[in-house]
Amino acid sequence: MVLRELCVVGLGYIGLPTASLFATHGFQVKGVDISPQVVATINQGDIHIEEPGLKTLVQAAVNSGNLKAYTEPQPADCFIIAVPTPITEDKRVDLRSVAQAARAIVPLLRPGNLVILESTSPPGTTRDFLAPILAESGLVPGEELFIAHCPERVLPGKIIKELLTNARVIGGLDPASAEQARRLYATLVEGEIHLTDATTAEMVKIMENTYRDVNIALANEVAQLCHPLGINAWDVIRLANLHPRVSLHTPGPGVGGHCISVDPWFIVEKFPEAAQLIHQARRTNDNMPDFTYRLLLEHVRHIANPKITLLGVTYKPDVDDVRESPALTLIARIQANPQLRLAIYDPHVKHFEHELSGFEAAFLDSDCILLTVGHAEFKYINPRQLAPLVRNRLVIDTRNALNRAEWTENGFDYVLLGQGQPAIPSPALLVTAS
């Protein structure tokens, strides 16, 4: 069947760029979001999230008349579900948004329609969770209704380019569904398209992020081992990576974002016995904010009521996204300690649950600068300018983002996460810490 009209349910980081790209490629696209404000914003050609190039793309899509947003799903040839699949407090997948989206499109389904799930989901979701809901339409999946999983695999900050150029993995409920979905994405995607079954596609997506999580956990363990050894983990990793078959990731204060710190739990929840390594990687990475906190305490313990300047709160550089950011745990630890004072500086973040300081106020009388994310502009902070502002010249770099020579030349003690001496005391010794 000819695919001309698309209904994209969920207009967030993935749904909005996807809807806009299809619209600028000639499809009639109806975007759907439960938030009336989001719908109004998009219909004015504006955006509610930060992503390079997105505003221009949405404007072009809306002005062409090919993209219109609604609060309820609309009839179409193809439905793309791009809603959040978060985890709950106790690390269980929350598929309520997928269920809600699926139920909302059931009354609109017609023979020959294609339904695609883009949201990252536990293996088996398309076959065992989505398809039964869609079957409530009375249409027989695989015969009258095509169903596929086509996970998004794009990097925040590069979403538009990667949506066009990345390879796509498309998993069909059956081969005919996979082929229908391939025809749709082939109109847009320049990268290779690989067809498989839906559960394999779900597993592929989760394993991509799990690979990264496990690799980062290994790097974080290397960092922790190098402290008592009195050596530099960044050197160890750099030199080990000269080997043609080694590619260690880098340590840091923890793993944040809505993908890598979330997706591995989908596997741990489903297979608690078998997924030991994946579970341990999550624990290791989730413990890094506490390791960083202990590193901080070790270096400020001789200072009375030290003021900590937290440099950066987003989960990674050059974005405004603070979801699951390790800085949030660090802020909670610092605020819970009555001995510590805190100022937070992040030029990328406009709205935040904690008070943000301006540049000078953040550094004034500071006793320790704690960098948790390597925003590009932080590399240009001039330690010579900061020296007269601060009370103690101490900087802790958890990302190896600063120029050590420049800071030490200006009298700063430069501490690097992952570089030995002094040894980090065990949590048991830090009874005053929390």
Which chain residues interact with ligand SAJ by CB under 6 A?
Answer: 120, 152-156, 208-209, 212, 216, 249-250, 252, 255-257, 259-260, 315-316
**CA distance to 68, 188, 238, 396, per residue, from 308 (Å):** 47, 48, 30, 10
Q: How far apart are CB 63 and ligand SAJ at their closest, in Å? A: 28
Sheet of 78-81, strand order = 67-70, 28-32, 5-9, 78-81, 114-117, 146-149, 168-172, 193-197
Q: How far apart are CB 89 and ligand SAJ at their closest, in Å? A: 20
Q: Do the beta carbons of residue 115 and residue 8 sit within 8 Å?
A: no
Catalytic-role residue among 7, 259, 316, 368? 259
Q: How far apart are CB 367 and ligand SAJ at their closest, in Å? A: 25
Nearer to ligand SAJ, 263 or 298 (CB): 263
Q: How far apart are CB 111 and ligand SAJ at their closest, in Å? A: 33
**CA 20 to CA 37: how far, in whole Å?**
18
Cβ burial, residue 108 (10 Å; 0-12/13-18/19+): middle
Nearer to ligand SAJ, 8 or 260 (CB): 260
Catalytic-role residue among 30, 78, 150, 205? 205
The amino acid at residue 165 is: T
Q: How far apart are CB 266 and ligand SAJ at their closest, in Å? A: 11
Dihedral angle sign, alpha carbons of residues 114, 117, 122, 123: positive
Nearer to ligand SAJ, 153 or 282 (CB): 153
Residue 71 CA to its chain's centroid (Å): 26
What single string gives the DSSP state of each residue in 237-284?
Answer: HHHHTTSTT-------S---SSSTTTHHHHHHHH-TTT-HHHHHHHHH
Q: How far apart are CB 145 and ligand SAJ at their closest, in Å? A: 27
Nearer to ligand SAJ, 149 or 316 (CB): 316
Residue 13 CA to its chain's centroid (Å): 10
SS3 of 308-319: EEEECCCCCCCC
Nearer to ligand SAJ, 209 or 309 (CB): 209
Within 10 Å of residue 307's Cβ, how many Cβ atoms? 21
**CA distance to 7, 75, 145, 167, per residue, from 27 (Å):** 10, 14, 20, 21
Nearer to ligand SAJ, 29 or 322 (CB): 322
Nearer to ligand SAJ, 250 or 337 (CB): 250
Q: How far apart are CB 66 and ligand SAJ at their closest, in Å? A: 26
Sequence-ordered strand ranges (E) for 25-106: 28-32, 67-70, 78-81
What single string gives the DSSP state of each residue in 185-200?
Answer: HHTT--S-EEEEEHHH
- Is 161 a known active-site residue? no
- Is 226 a known active-site residue? no
Instruction: For residue 22, report the phi and psi dihedrals to the nearest 5 degrees.
Output: -60, -40
Nearest to 13 by CA among 172, 157, 185, 127: 157
Which residues are annotated as catalytic?
A: 205, 259
